[in-house]
């Protein structure tokens, strides 16, 4: 094996070079042009197809494609029934949307410190943060590593809390063979340029719970639970 550059070997890329992400090929270009030329820019069939395929990929019953992972997190908060003054437990280390999605619904984020071995929220510190106002837990699966959902589900069940997955960085991750997106009551994913699965921008809400799906769908395009192409022929 050749000596690594960090150990004095030959550099394979010029210093400061960043590989473009995501990679784009002719298939992508053809699909983008076909979408633009279809004149269905707001409710094109690709969004519906992507939601169906992603639901199947995670093993979820329902999926709603959104413009961002942040929007999907807002759907999770609404689906969880979080309201003004409620408290939601969340990790102290994540992207800002994990906490601002709580604030934007006039609820209160309660931060729990991380486990320094996993960089995820320390499950053993959660119960000390629970109060009579606690409504939900947002478990952030950071950098593709899931939290310990055996512990999280036990805590949520004991205290009758909704368990939300922030899996914006965890596409394809698993906990004991179970896909991210199927580990909590509902989940949010992101597809922006920094994510391992990228659509330029975009997000996805997934759940197995029909009531949560209907609640989340009320935040999607005019509050419709079905897409306009399924429900009406007018704007």
Query: Which has the minimum average pLDDT: 27-41, 53-67, 112-126, 213-227?
Result: 213-227
Q: Is 25 helix (H, G, I), strand (E, B) or coil?
A: coil
Q: Could you report the per-residue pLDDT of 94-111, keeping only the tens digit for each?
A: 999 999 999 999 999 999
62-74: average pLDDT: 96
Domains defined along the chain, listed by start: 51-222 (3.40.640.10)
225 token code pair: 């639970």
State the pLDDT at residue 229.
46
Q: Token digits for 60?
A: 């979820």
Tens digits of residue pLDDT in 120-170: 999 999 999 999 999 999 999 999 999 999 999 999 999 999 999 999 999
The average confidence (pLDDT) of the chain is 91
Provide the H-helix boundaries in the chain.
26-37, 45-58, 69-79, 97-103, 149-159, 210-217, 228-231
Positions annotated as catalytic residues are 195
Q: Give CA–CA dist 84/173, Å, rounded.
A: 32
Among 98, 138, 135, 141, which residue's Cα sits nearest to residue 119? 141
Residue 205 belongs to what H/E stretch?
strand 203-207
pLDDT at 228: 45
CA 157 to chain centre: 22
**Cβ(89)–Cβ(171) below 8 Å:** no
**Can you tell me the distance from the alpha carbon of 113 to that of 149, in angstroms, rounded to the nearest whole number?**
17
């Amino acid at each position: 094996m050749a000596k690594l550059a960090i150990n004095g070997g030959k550099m394979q890329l010029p210093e400061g070079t960043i590989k473009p992400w995501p990679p784009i090929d002719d298939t992508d270009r053809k699909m983008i042009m076909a979408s633009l030329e279809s004149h269905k820019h707001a409710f094109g069939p690709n969004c519906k197809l992507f939601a169906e395929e992603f639901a199947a990929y995670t093993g979820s019953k329902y999926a709603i494609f959104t413009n961002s992972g942040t929007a999907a997190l807002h759907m999770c908060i609404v689906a969880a029934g979080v309201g003004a003054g409620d408290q939601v437990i969340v990790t102290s280390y994540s992207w800002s949307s994990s906490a601002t999605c709580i604030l934007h619904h006039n609820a209160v984020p309660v931060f729990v410190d991380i486990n320094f071995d996993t960089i995820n929220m320390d499950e053993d510190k959660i119960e000390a943060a629970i109060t009579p106002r606690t409504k939900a837990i947002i478990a952030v699966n950071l950098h593709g590593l899931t939290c310990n959902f055996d512990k999280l589900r036990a805590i949520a069940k004991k205290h009758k809390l909704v368990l939300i997955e922030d899996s914006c960085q965890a596409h394809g991750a698993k906990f004991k063979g179970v896909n991210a997106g199927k580990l909590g009551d509902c989940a949010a994913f992101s597809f922006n340029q920094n994510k391992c699965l990228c659509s330029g921008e975009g997000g996805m809400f997934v759940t197995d719970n029909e009531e949560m799906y209907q609640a989340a769908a009320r935040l999607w395009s005019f509050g419709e639970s079905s897409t306009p192409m399924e429900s009406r022929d007018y704007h």
